[in-house]
């Protein structure tokens, strides 16, 4: 393993690999990515693979819009098919108080070039005729949204980064962050130290603990999310959009001739438990069948648990940590990290290469400063409303 580098990235999920690739594309090739497990096998692998542009904050919408353009052309850019299915995201709303908020969000999205729209119950019936609509007042739909293979996409970024000279060391956990004076000096691993003037924490649910190695408080906590996939069954067509009952967080979309579905338990506290909760699985299935009775014919093939990396305003920490100079973070995406990965990689790389060591802004045309880590201490939160 290299003992010196221009940058060390902690974590080889979608964020770490996208940032490494973006840096190498821009000429910073002496990059080392350290992963405690294997590439793309952490929170990224457990994600449902959703790709959407329907957000409530301008920064997220701009990041999502750019990222969708990358996902659409991934095979051409990276030589890898990620199975992108742009069948749309359909939000179902049952609370009248949500309508003005969603309509305002749609106006913001449309103003930034996203083709999302309000849909009536009748239009919902045309988009997904299988959902029970008795309590549905309307919803939102964007035909460009969809889902893809999270692991394949991460491997695509990793392979492209390696081709440009990036070193990725798997099964190499970071045990300490080295600081000299007021600057970061590198990291320590069981395989030796790697000295670098730039260290980026992209450790997903483990970010708080990694930040503590450098004496910085990064308010990111893991929350369990379970997903399930059915065996193939013919009662529902594979052409349906990703459908979300916004009030409950229930979602489902076609996957492998069956359907992938899940629903977060919002009452569950932060945990590092990755086992599947059988009782919550039963609650999820009950909600699923109530919304789409055809699912009563389906059998569950398997289920798994992963983590959302959640912050107090459901938006990420992007930029300098406020601790030692040269220590940055890109984590805390609260369930929408994978879909934003390509644009985050570019914006973070441009920020690092601008030479602004203590500035959380970027030279990019996308302003990521609303997500600066210091916003929590400043009391300037950037709440994201469209969280599933």
Q: Is the pLDDT of residue 362 over 50?
A: no
Confidence label for 86 from pLDDT (cuts 50, 70 and 90): very high
Q: Cα dihedral sign for 140, 306, 80, 345?
A: positive
Distance separating alpha carbons of residues 183 and 4, to the nearest angstrom: 16
Structural Rg of the chain based on CA atoms: 21
Report the pLDDT value the prediction gives residue 46, as an integer from 0 to 100: 85
Distance separating alpha carbons of residues 202 and 329, to the nearest angstrom: 6
Report the pLDDT value the prediction gives residue 361, as an integer from 0 to 100: 43
Bridge partners, residue 325, by sequence: 183
Transcribe 197-237 into DSSP letters: S-EEE--GGGHHHHHHHTT-----EEEEEEEEEEPP-SSS-
Confidence label for 343 from pLDDT (cuts 50, 70 and 90): very high
Tell me the per-residue pLDDT of 144-167, one tens digit each, with 9 for 90 and over.
Answer: 999 999 999 999 999 999 999 999
Report the pLDDT value the prediction gives residue 364, as an integer from 0 to 100: 56
Report the pLDDT value the prediction gives residue 84, as an integer from 0 to 100: 97
Is the CATH number 3.30.450.70 carried by domain 7-47+151-220+313-378? no
Tell me the average pLDDT of the chain. 95
The distance of Cα 176 from the centroid of its chain, to the nearest Å, equals 26
Q: Is the pLDDT of residue 360 over 70?
A: no
Q: Is the pLDDT of residue 358 over 80?
A: no
Q: Is 162 exposed, middle or buried (0-12, 13-18, 19+ CB in 10 A)?
A: middle
SS3 content of the chain, % helix, strand, coil (to 5): 30, 25, 45
- Tell me if domain 7-47+151-220+313-378 and domain 86-145+222-310 are identical in fold: no
Q: Is 365 exposed, middle or buried (0-12, 13-18, 19+ CB in 10 A)?
A: exposed
Confidence label for 355 from pLDDT (cuts 50, 70 and 90): low
Report the pLDDT value the prediction gives residue 1, as an integer from 0 to 100: 78
Q: Is the pLDDT of residue 17 over 80?
A: yes
Tell me the per-residue pLDDT of 34-63, one tens digit each, with 9 for 90 and over.
Answer: 999 999 988 888 888 999 999 999 999 999
Distance separating alpha carbons of residues 75 and 60, to the nearest angstrom: 24
For the residues 350-357, what does the mean pLDDT come to? 77
Domain positions in the chain are 7-47+151-220+313-378, 86-145+222-310
Confidence label for 317 from pLDDT (cuts 50, 70 and 90): very high
For the residues 265-277, what does the mean pLDDT come to? 95
Bridge partners, residue 302, by sequence: 229
Provide the H-helix boundaries in 292-383.
Answer: 337-353, 375-378
Report the pLDDT value the prediction gives residue 146, as an integer from 0 to 100: 98
Dihedral, 194, 196, 201, 206 alpha carbons, nearest 10: 20
- Domain 86-145+222-310: homologous superfamily in CATH: D-Amino Acid Oxidase, subunit A, domain 2 (3.30.9.10)
Tell me the per-residue pLDDT of 230-255, one tens digit each, with 9 for 90 and over.
Answer: 999 999 999 999 999 999 999 999 99
pLDDT > 90: percent of the chain: 94
31: enclosing H helix or E strand: strand 31-34
pLDDT > 70: percent of the chain: 97
Tell me the per-residue pLDDT of 182-191, one tens digit each, with 9 for 90 and over.
Answer: 999 999 999 9
Assigned token pair, 198: 């730039």
Contact predicate 123/64, CB 8 Å: no
pTM: 0.95
Report the pLDDT value the prediction gives residue 45, as an integer from 0 to 100: 84
Report the pLDDT value the prediction gives residue 356, as an integer from 0 to 100: 46
Q: How many CB atoms lie within 10 A of CB 366?
A: 18
């Amino acid at each position: 393993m290299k003992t010196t580098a221009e940058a060390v990235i902690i974590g080889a999920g979608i964020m770490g690999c996208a940032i490494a690739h973006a840096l190498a594309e821009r000429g910073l090739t002496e990059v080392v990515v350290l992963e405690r497990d294997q590439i793309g096998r952490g929170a990224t692998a457990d994600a449902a693979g959703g790709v959407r542009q329907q957000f409530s904050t301008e920064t997220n919408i701009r990041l999502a819009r750019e990222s969708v353009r990358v996902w659409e052309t991934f095979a051409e850019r990276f030589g890898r098919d990620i199975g992108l299915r742009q069948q749309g995201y359909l939000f179902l709303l049952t609370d009248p108080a949500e309508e003005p908020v969603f309509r305002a969000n749609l106006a913001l999205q449309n103003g930034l070039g996203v083709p999302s729209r309000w849909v009536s119950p009748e239009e919902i019936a045309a988009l997904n005729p299988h959902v029970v609509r008795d309590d549905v007042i309307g919803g939102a739909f964007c035909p460009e949204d969809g889902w893809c293979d999270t692991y394949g996409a991460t491997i695509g970024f990793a392979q492209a980064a390696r081709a440009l000279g990036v070193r990725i060391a798997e099964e190499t956990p970071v045990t300490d962050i080295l600081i000299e004076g007021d600057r970061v000096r590198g990291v320590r691993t069981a395989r030796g130290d790697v000295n670098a003037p730039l260290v980026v924490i992209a450790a997903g649910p483990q970010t708080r603990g990694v930040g503590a190695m450098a004496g910085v408080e990064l308010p990111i906590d893991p929350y369990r999310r379970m997903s399930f996939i059915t065996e193939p069954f013919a009662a529902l067509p594979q052409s349906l959009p990703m459908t979300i009952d916004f009030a409950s967080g229930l979602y489902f979309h076609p996957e492998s001739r069956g359907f992938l579905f899940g629903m977060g338990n919002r009452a569950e506290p932060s945990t590092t438990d990755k086992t599947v909760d059988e009782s919550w699985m039963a609650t999820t299935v009950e909600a699923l069948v109530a919304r789409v009775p055809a699912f009563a014919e389906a059998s569950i093939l398997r289920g798994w648990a992963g983590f959302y990396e959640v912050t107090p305003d459901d938006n990420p920490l992007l930029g300098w940590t406020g601790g030692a100079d040269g220590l940055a973070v890109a984590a805390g995406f609260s369930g929408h990290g994978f879909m934003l990965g390509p644009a985050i990689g570019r914006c973070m790389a441009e920020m690092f290469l601008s030479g602004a060591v203590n500035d959380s802004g970027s030279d990019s045309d996308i302003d990521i400063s609303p997500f600066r880590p210091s916003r929590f201490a400043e009391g300037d939160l950037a709440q994201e409303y469209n969280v599933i």
